[in-house]
Structure 1
Amino acid sequence: MVALNPPASLSVAQADNGGRLAWDARLERLVSFAFTLPCLAVVALCVLVPCAWLFFLSAFGSDGKASLENYQRILDGASYARIFITTFQVGLATVAACVLIGVPFASFINGLPPRRSVIFLAAVLLPFWTSLLVRAYAWLVLLQRTGIVNSVLMGLGITKAPLELAFNHFATVLGMTHIMLPIFILPVLGAMRNIDSALIRAAASMGASRSYTYRRIFLPLAAPGIAAGAILVFVMSLGFYVTPAILGGGNVNVISMRIARSLSNYSNWGAASALGVLLLVFTALLFALSYGVQRVLLSRQRS
Structure 2
Amino acid sequence: MVRPRRPVPAADGPMTHTLTPEERRERRLILALLTPALAVVGVLLIAPLIWMGWQSFQGPDGFSLMHYQRFLTDSVYLSSFIQTFRIAFVVTLAALLIGYPIAYVAAKSEGIWPPIILGMVLVPFWTSVLVRAYAWLILLQRRGIVNSALQDLGLIDRPLLLVNNEFGTTMATLHILLPFMVLPLYAAMKKIPAELETAGASLGGNGWLVFRSIYLPLSLPGVIAGSVLVFVLTLGFYITPELLGGGRTFLVSMLVSRNIELYNEWGAASSISVVLLLVVFAIFRLASMLIPFERIMGTK
* TM-score normalised over the length of structure 2: 0.89
Deviates more, 1:290-299 or 1:42-51: 290-299
Give 1:258's aligned amino acid. Answer: L
Matches within 5 A, 1:55-70: 55-61=53-59, 63-70=60-67
Cα distance in 2 between the residues matched to 1:296 and 1:240: 25
Deviation at 1:114, TM superposition (A): 4.3
Runs of 4+ in 1 over 6 A off after TM superposition: 12-17, 19-23
Give 1:49's aligned amino acid. Answer: A
Partner residue, 1:116: 113
Deviation at 1:81, TM superposition (A): 0.6
Partner residue, 2:243: 246
Partner residue, 2:208: 211
SS across alignment from 1:208: coil
Equivalent pairs counted in the alignment come to: 287
SS across alignment from 1:251: coil
Cα gap change, 1:20/1:281 in structure 2, threshold over 3 Å: closer, same or farther?
closer
Give 1:47's aligned amino acid. Answer: L
Cα distance in 2 between the residues matched to 1:78 and 1:151: 38
Deviates more, 1:236-245 or 1:193-202: 193-202
Give 1:108's aligned amino acid. Answer: V
Deviation at 1:87, TM superposition (A): 0.6
Deviation at 1:297, TM superposition (A): 11
* Cα distance per residue 1:209-245 (max 9 Å; x no partner): 2222122210110001101110111111111000111
Residues 228, 294 of structure 1: 8 Å contact kept: no
- What percent of counterpart residues are identical? 41
Deviation at 1:118, TM superposition (A): 0.7
Residues 84, 254 of structure 1: 8 Å contact kept: yes
Matches within 5 A, 1:126-145: 126-145=123-142
Partner residue, 1:52: 50
Structure 1 gaps, min length 5: 1-11
* Cα distance per residue 1:240-294 (max 9 Å; x no partner): 0001111111110001101111111111111111111111111111111121111
Partner residue, 1:38: 36
Cα distance in 2 between the residues matched to 1:205 and 1:68: 64
Query: Is 1:167 paired with 2:169?
Result: no
Larger of the two Rg values belongs to structure? 1
Deviation at 1:45, TM superposition (A): 1.0
Residues 5, 20 of structure 2: 8 Å contact kept: no
Cα gap change, 1:192/1:76 in structure 2, threshold over 3 Å: closer, same or farther?
same
RMSD: 2.5
Deviation at 1:109, TM superposition (A): 0.5
Question: More helix by proportion, 1 or 2?
Answer: 1
Partner residue, 1:284: 281
Give 1:270's aligned amino acid. Answer: G
Structure 2 gaps, min length 5: 8-16
SS across alignment from 2:112: helix
Partner residue, 1:87: 84
